[in-house]
C-alpha cells in the first residue's frame, strides 16, 4: 500500500495525487491519500485522480470541531466488491435481513457498505452546518479567493526586509492550499505565543516553522495585512 498526505501538514505542499496514483498502480500498490489538510482546502477531484481511497478529518478546514467524525472516499471501481476486507458492523449489513443475524455477513454495495454503526448526531449536525456553507459558496469560489489571499500573504512576507525568514511552501498556487509555512532563523515557540497574544492564531512546528493558514471562508485581506505587520514588528 502507498499511503501519503495529499497536502503535507508541515510544508503545506499539495502533491499531484493523480501522478502518485499512476506511479503506485504501476507498482501494484493500493493508493490511499490522507486529506486531513486537504478537505475544504483544495479540490483533489478524487474520482478522476484514480486513487483507491482517501480519508480526512472534518475539524480542520471543515470547521466541525474537535472529535468530530472523519470522512472516507472509496473509488467507484471498488464500490461493489464485497470481498474487500473492512470493519463490519450492523450498519453495513443488508437492511432487509439485518436482524435475522445469520451468516454469511451480507455487505451492502456502494457507500452504505462502508458504514459501521450509528453516527453521532451532534457531530453530524456540526458537519452538516459546515458543509451547507461550503455548498453555498462552492469550492471553486473558495479556491479563487484562496489563491489571491495566500498570494497576497506571500507577497507581503517577501517585502519584510530580513534574512531570518524563508517560506518553505511551494510558490506555485497549484502546488499548495492556503497554508504558508515560514521557517524562522533563531526563533522558538515564544514567537508563536507572542502572535497568539496579539490574537493572531498560527501554529508552531518544531524546530523552526510557523504554519499560517489564511482561510478564504472567513479570513480577509485586512486580516492578512495586519498579521504580517504584527509578525514584522515581532521579528
Ligand X SMILES: *Cc1c(COP(=O)(O)O)cnc(C)c1O
- Grid coordinates in use for 199? 490574537
Q: Is 106 in the site for ligand X (CB under 6 A)?
A: no
Residue with cell 469560489: 141
Number of residues this chain uses to bind ligand X (CB under 6 A): 7
Contact criterion met (CB below 8 Å) for 57 and 29: no
Over the window 69 to 98, marking each residue x when it contacts ligand X by CB under 6 A and - when it does not, the resulting string is: -x----------------------------
The residue from 2, 3, 9, 90 that contacts ligand X (CB under 6 A) is 9
Of residues 143, 177, 172, the one with CA closest to residue 8 = 177
Q: Which is nearer to ligand X, 108 or 114 (CB)?
A: 114
Q: Is 5 in the site for ligand X (CB under 6 A)?
A: yes
Alpha-carbon distance 129 to 147, whole Å?
Answer: 25
Q: Which is nearer to ligand X, 94 or 115 (CB)?
A: 115
| Cα atoms found within 13 Å of the Cα of residue 92, Cβ hemisphere only | 18
Residue 65 C-beta: closest distance to ligand X, Å? 12
Residue 119 C-beta: closest distance to ligand X, Å? 15
Which residue minimizes CB distance to ligand X?
Answer: 36
Alpha-carbon distance 25 to 214, whole Å?
Answer: 35
Of residues 173, 198, 195, 174, the one with CA closest to residue 184 = 195
Contact criterion met (CB below 8 Å) for 115 and 107: no
The residue from 3, 22, 29, 34 that contacts ligand X (CB under 6 A) is 34
Task: Considering only the stretches 30-38, 82-90, 127-135, 182-190, report the one whose residues sit in contact with ligand X under the rule CB under 6 A.
Answer: 30-38
Name the residues that contact ligand X, by CB under 6 A. Answer: 5, 9, 34, 36-37, 57, 70
Amino acid at each position: 500500500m502507498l499511503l501519503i498526505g495529499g497536502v503535507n501538514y508541515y510544508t503545506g505542499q499539495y502533491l499531484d495525487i493523480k501522478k502518485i496514483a499512476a506511479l503506485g498502480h504501476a507498482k501494484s500498490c493500493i493508493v490511499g491519500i490522507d486529506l486531513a489538510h486537504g478537505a475544504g482546502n483544495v479540490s483533489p477531484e478524487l474520482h478522476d485522480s484514480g486513487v483507491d481511497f482517501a480519508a480526512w478529518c472534518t475539524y480542520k478546514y471543515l470547521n466541525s470541531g474537535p472529535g468530530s467524525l472523519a470522512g472516507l472516499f472509496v473509488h467507484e471501481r471498488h464500490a461493489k466488491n464485497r470481498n474487500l476486507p473492512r470493519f463490519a458492523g450492523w450498519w453495513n449489513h443488508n437492511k432487509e435481513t439485518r436482524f435475522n443475524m445469520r451468516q454469511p455477513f451480507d455487505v451492502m454495495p456502494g457507500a452504505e457498505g462502508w458504514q459501521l454503526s450509528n453516527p453521532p448526531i451532534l457531530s453530524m449536525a456540526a458537519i452538516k452546518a459546515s458543509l451547507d456553507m461550503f455548498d453555498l459558496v462552492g469550492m471553486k469560489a473558495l479556491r479563487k479567493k484562496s489563491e489571491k489571499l495566500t498570494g497576497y500573504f506571500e507577497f507581503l512576507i517577501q517585502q519584510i526586509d530580513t534574512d531570518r525568514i524563508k517560506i518553505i511552501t511551494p510558490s506555485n498556487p497549484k502546488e499548495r492550499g492556503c497554508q504558508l509555512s515560514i521557517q524562522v532563523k533563531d526563533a522558538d515557540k515564544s514567537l508563536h505565543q507572542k502572535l497568539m497574544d496579539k490574537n493572531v492564531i498560527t501554529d508552531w512546528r518544531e524546530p523552526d516553522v510557523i504554519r499560517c493558514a489564511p482561510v478564504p471562508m472567513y479570513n480577509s485581506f485586512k486580516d492578512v495585512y495586519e498579521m504580517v505587520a504584527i509578525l514584522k514588528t515581532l521579528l
